[in-house]
Amino acid sequence: MTEKRIIASPRQLPGALAGMLRANYEVREPAESVAAPDEFVALAQGAEAVFVTAFDDMDDELIRALPDSVKLIASIGVGVDHIDLEAAERRGIAVSNTPEVTTACLADTTMGLIIAACRRFREGLDLARTGEGRGMLTPETWGQRVTGRTLGIIGMGNVGKEVAKRAQGFDLNIIYTTPRPSAEVDTKYNARAVSFEELLKQADIISLHCPLKEETHHLIDAAAIEKMKPSAVIINISRGPVIDELALISALKSGRLFAAGLDVFETEPDPIREELYSLPNVFCLPHIASATWESRSAMAMRVLENINAFFERGAPTDRVV
């Protein structure tokens, strides 16, 4: 293979991935863990591909500043909302992601959040830390049973389907909304396609698995929450801005919603709102749904495959644009 030049977006590469890339390429990394945009552009001079993560904002200004040598933005992760795809397309730069390899772990995390939020594990954990061995014994502290309830899945892609498969084991009644419903999905997952409005009204548990786009930004806002059951539980492992967090906080505080289980946040990469994570009926995880040895290893191999395919065949395997 002809040696090519690669650069990480403004952050150093994980050691294992850097080692695999260095076997065939020249790898350029910032001196510090995260580089400023101008430093990144300087490092990219002469590079034909750049490596980015979901936490690296590749906006129009940065993409326009990239040298003409750059022809691939190889992103690790499924979502590409951190990349201005139109700007990349205008520059003739291909964009790739790493789909599918995290699906199982994302679905596992979803089910964990459903159980934790419904059963009020956050409050139970706080109580257990006091040394109390028998707490939450009065009705106002009780949680909700998961088995037999109605799960509304927003976005029936790979992850949504895996969640539906797991949900069948809890005898959940599954409804979903997606741009492309199908009888095959209904049969395979014992599910029923409904409108967005109907899902909001019927679901006991609402789980978000849609990409962040202009039309899904604040998809769950105050108006949407108003249509939900007061006993509803919201789960989000997709992207933080799909939910209007201020509206969510207000609903959780007032009792308009029962609970939430969140792995992503509107304020990322800045800290989680204290007003959100301090609520006893919110179970927060720090964006770790894909943080397993299996998922991260598979993501690294997939991004390497995309880079190799780009240089060997002229296009990455998982081309987005």
Q: Which position among 268, 275, 305, 319 bears the catalytic label?
A: 268
Query: Is 287 an active-site residue?
Result: yes
Give the DSSP per-residue string, 209-223: -----TTTTTSB-HH
Architecture per CATH, 103-284: 3-Layer(aba) Sandwich (3.40)
Does pLDDT of 187 surpass 80?
A: yes
Alpha-carbon dihedral sign for residues 126, 221, 170, 263: negative
Residue 232's DSSP bridge partners are: none
Give the pLDDT score at 1. 46
Q: 98 near 295, Cβ under 8 Å?
A: no
pTM of the model: 0.93
pLDDT digits (tens, 9 = 90+) for 195-206: 999 999 999 999
Query: pLDDT tens across 48-75, in order?
Result: 999 999 989 999 999 999 999 999 999 9
Tell me what pLDDT residue 224 has. 98
pLDDT digits (tens, 9 = 90+) for 114-134: 999 999 999 999 999 999 989
What integer best gives the mean pLDDT of the chain?
A: 95
Q: Where are the alpha helices (DSSP H) in 69-146?
A: 85-90, 103-118, 121-128
Residue 2, pLDDT above cutoff 60:
no
Superfamily of the domain at 4-101+293-313 = NAD(P)-binding Rossmann-like Domain (3.40.50.720)
Angle 26-32-37 (CA atoms, 0-180°, nearest 5)?
A: 80
Q: Where are the domains of the chain?
A: 4-101+293-313, 103-284
256 is catalytic: no
Question: What pLDDT is recorded for position 293?
Answer: 95
> Is a pLDDT exceeding 90 seen at residue 227?
yes
% of the chain surpassing 70 pLDDT: 98
Considering the candidates 5, 209, 287, 296, report the single residue annotated as catalytic. 287
Instruction: Give 133's contacts (C-beta < 8 A, 6+ positions apart).
Output: none
- Report which residue type is found at 192: R
pLDDT tens digits, 130-155 = 999 898 988 989 999 999 999 999 99
Whether residue 8 has pLDDT greater than 80: no
4-101+293-313 and 103-284: identical CATH topology: yes
268 catalytic? Reply is: yes
| 180 vs 318: CA distance, rounded Å | 21
From 239, 245, 266, 296, the catalytic residue: 239
Displacement of CA 267 from its chain's centroid (Å)? 14
CA distance 67 to 64: 8
165 or 18: which leads in pLDDT:
165
Q: What is the pLDDT of residues 245-279, one digit of tens each?
A: 999 999 999 999 999 999 999 999 899 999 999 99
Position 31 pLDDT exceeds 90: no
